[in-house]
Chains A and B, each alone.
Chain A
């Protein structure tokens, strides 16, 4: 087992950012452009971030009341064995679905841009194996891996932004703040889900012993704020390079944006390949975080056995290969969003309410 016993604030921020930024940064521009249909769509991200910050207070309250317990242990402490089991089951299914969704979209992108002729199950399977290898040793290693690759991811995003400046046409971003504010706010229902990952505080809370609520809240909000900043910058650049109308039609807008970078005769003539390798790490980190949640859930619900990791892997691969094409995959995203709301807003809120009523905390 890993020797990491307590996460620092910086490590927590890195874990959250790494699990939040994933496929959202590739897919969100298109969904948002279709929903908001104006140059102001980046404003929706800020509204989404505010909503997520409010929700994150629930997690912080739970994590402070039950330090050292994961979501799966909290449920039975608060709700009793049977209802706790149901809660755990639902959360596990949720992790499974999100992990499979991330993996399938990542697989689709790899097949589209990198490995043309490789069969999907090979792509998905090898991705899965690497992830399983990392999870094998527990949360400490996952956190350390995130920490190791975080700078690389950030450098990749910054380089992409810098190289895109040449193609930026600010006339595409104008007029600013002319859109109906309610449409912009309603865009938050899409951007909210691009912050999925902050609920993993309840999973990594195992490594949070005793922390002050204020300190945890600041950590959460810092990571949400930084993620929102990255998203906003990316969206402004995407609109500036491609235009809103074009964003609606491109399958993977961010990659196409990277593809329009060209410095003649220079090393960066095909920058999107380099960017994809950087981005794959972010997809990998968010996938690993969810798969870790899934294995933890399975471990808690059933008698511990060393076969949980392969079982989790097999479940994800089976679910990943279930949809036939990307159209079906994107189609499921609406259902996934419904399940997410139930799993990450309703369940923790119920837990917190019941816990407050019963007044029991782990600490006392």
Chain B
């Protein structure tokens, strides 16, 4: 019996050694953000890793004294991204850990030079990267953006990601696109938009989106902030925001309508070989701000003129984006093909290959119906 106990004890010494290869969290180089760029001089790829420096994160006691940023950006160039990651250990003793990566910021120059599907290969192949990490595009130098002093967050990389947190309040900033979505769009062979970031007087700002073409898998153009609203309507991601109607559109204006909800429906019609699509947008709004004082909201019919004007404004925005897609770029970055596939599966099967030729010549009809449901708590009625 005692022999058995001794044997078990010895066995446990071997088996239950516990955390013999423990790694303290301070010694792990947690990377919160990553920048991808090209090095023009050496004709190489550049990768910037934003490391957290835990010691410099301000606590409540020490926040007054310390002002240095709690991150360290290591920028290196090389032929492949993996090589650069491994070369990071030449500059930092802490091995990079990407499981907490918050955002990836790429430059348009990179996507002009390299194919998008090749660029993201490492990020979908390696198990340490998550599919949920959002990707952003910028025309400015990536290192400058990652070096800014962020306004709200401690790290620029997190600031970039959190810009879209208010996507239901404003229609002009795009919703986040994760690396998983990106990979899905690429494998479905679709053109798409990557949310854009700019540097505006030393501050990070969301600004439109960059277009990636399906065929070349390259960056081909930019959608400005003003046009993002139309994109959001077509992507059916509008949940809030506002519609501005100036004096020209509404007599006794300007008027601001707050969007409470919006739904976009797609109807397709095939006559012979001709494809026609109707985009039906139903928006529900309330009267948010009124610079004309003579309106009597208790009288029937006050909404009519405003609703019509609002319909026209929204329709104009959507048509503007469609025009950009069909005439200027001749690429379906709005993912309209998805609706063709859903509503006309037979047509899609036949014409999937020449979608690139069909899309620019397609007829689109945009029908908007705005509804004002509420007018708020008080209304001046001076006349």
Contact = CB atoms under 8 A, between A and B. Distances in A.
* A and B found bound together: yes
* Interface size of B as a range: 10 to 19
Contacts of B350: none
Contacts of B178: 260
B341 interface: yes
A245 B342 contact: no
Contact of A260 (B127, B180, B188, B189): B180
Contact of A246 (B127, B130, B187): B187
Interface string B273-314: 000000000000000000000000000000000000000000
A175 B268 CA distance: 14
B184 interface: yes
Nearest to B189: A245
Interface in A218-232: none
A246 B338 contact: no
A171 B184 CA distance: 13
A256 interface: yes
Given A175-B345, A178-B345, A270-B99, A259 B187 contact: no
B130 A259 contact: yes
Contact of B187 (A178, A243, A260): A243
Most buried by A among B127, B188, B189, B346: B127
Contacts of B127: 112-113
A235 B343 CA distance: 22
Interface in A171-199: 171, 174-175, 178
A255 to B, nearest CB: 9
B311 to A, nearest CB: 26
Contacts of A113: 127
Given A113-B127, A242-B180, A259-B131, A175 B99 contact: no
B180 to A, nearest CB: 5
A127 to B, nearest CB: 16
Contacts of B341: 175
A248 interface: yes
A249 B342 CA distance: 22
A262 interface: yes
B183 interface: yes
B184 A262 contact: no
Interface residues of A, number: 18
A174 B131 CA distance: 23
Contact of A171 (B130, B187, B189, B342): B342
Contacts of B130: 259-260, 262
B100 to A, nearest CB: 9
A113 B187 CA distance: 23
Contacts of B346: 178
A174 B342 contact: yes
B132 interface: yes
A260 B182 CA distance: 13
A175 B344 CA distance: 9
Given A242-B180, A270-B99, A249 B131 contact: no
Given A171-B338, A174-B342, A259-B130, A245 B180 contact: no
Contacts of A270: 99
A260 B132 contact: yes
A171 B346 CA distance: 17
A175 B187 contact: no
A328 to B, nearest CB: 19
Interface in A156-174: 171, 174
Interface in A265-288: 270
B216 to A, nearest CB: 19
A243 B345 contact: no
Contacts of A242: 180, 184
B131 A260 contact: yes
A94 to B, nearest CB: 32
Contacts of B99: 270
Given A113-B127, A259-B131, A243 B342 contact: no
A39 to B, nearest CB: 9
Nearest to B99: A270
Nearest to B179: A260
Contacts of A248: 187
Interface of B: 99, 127, 130-132, 178, 180, 183-184, 187-189, 338, 341-343, 345-346
8 contacts: A178-B345, A178-B346, A243-B184, A243-B188, A259-B132, A260-B131, A260-B132, A262-B132
Given A175-B345, A245-B184, 13 more contacts: A174-B342, A175-B342, A175-B343, A242-B184, A243-B184, A243-B187, A245-B189, A248-B187, A249-B187, A260-B132, A260-B180, A262-B130, A270-B99
Closest 7 CB pairs of A and B: A178-B345, A245-B187, A262-B132, A245-B188, A260-B131, A174-B342, A246-B184
